[in-house]
Amino acid sequence: MRKQVLIFGLVGGVLVTLLQWTEFHFVILEHSIAIYSVLIAILFAGAGIWLGTRLLAPRERIVNRIVEVNVPVPAPAATDSQLTSDNAARERVGITRRELEILKLVARGLSNREIGETLFVSENTVKTHCSRAFDKLGARRRTEAVQRGKELGLLP
């Protein structure tokens, strides 16, 4: 009896192994195109990442160097008489130094984003300073603010 159980177990194991092997081959053959497609996609993704890091690393250094070279040059220092007249006009209107600085950049035609990049502040901060300066000048638009600033002696 024990011998029969051992033989049945051994034959059952061989049959299960054979069934698993044929199922494995069937799955591989049936889905071989999808499997190969995934393997090729992984290969190309890896190659693209590697190549991108190799090619873009020097470009980033070049771009950073260009940005360093193109840093805006500060305006020449103002004389004492100019500072006194600027401060007097500014205090008369009640406008802060930062608002006046932003108003001068608005007069140069810079957008809020460009002003933010120049002054290293966010675009929302620029909008806040602009709206406060516009309120103090009684202006609704940028052109009105610039014109009013010139009339009051805030802008050249």
Mean pLDDT split into 10-residue runs, the chain, 156 residues: 81 84 74 79 86 68 51 49 60 83 89 89 90 88 88 82
User: Based on the domain organization, do 92 and 34 belong to the same domain?
Assistant: no
User: Based on the domain organization, do 51 and 32 belong to the same domain?
Assistant: yes
In this structure, is residue 156 part of a structural domain?
A: no
**Domain containing residue 97:** 80-151
b (16+ CB within 10 A) / e for 100-127: bebbbbbbeebebeebbeebeeeeebbe
Distances 7 to 11, 15, 78 between C-alpha atoms, Å:
6, 12, 104
The Cα–Cα gap between 103 and 112 comes to 11
Q: Indicate the residue among 69, 94, 119 that finishes a domain.
A: 69
Q: Indicate the residue among 15, 39, 69 that finishes a domain.
A: 69
Identify which of 148, 140, 154, 144 has the alpha carbon closest to the alpha carbon of residue 104. Answer: 154
Q: What is the pLDDT of residue 124?
A: 92
Q: Indicate the residue among 40, 69, 98 that finishes a domain.
A: 69
In this structure, is residue 27 part of a structural domain?
A: yes
The Cα–Cα gap between 155 and 147 comes to 9
Identify which of 139, 146, 129 has the alpha carbon closest to the alpha carbon of residue 155. Answer: 146
Domain count, the chain: 2
Q: What is the pLDDT of residue 71?
A: 47
In this structure, is residue 75 part of a structural domain?
A: no
Alpha helices in the chain (DSSP H): 2-30, 32-69, 80-93, 97-107, 112-119, 123-137, 142-151
Q: Which two tokens stand for residue 48?
A: 């693209």
pTM passes above 0.85: no
Q: What is the pLDDT of residue 58?
A: 58
CATH code where residue 119 lies: 1.10.10.10
User: Based on the domain organization, do 87 and 141 belong to the same domain?
Assistant: yes
User: Based on the domain organization, do 86 and 60 belong to the same domain?
Assistant: no
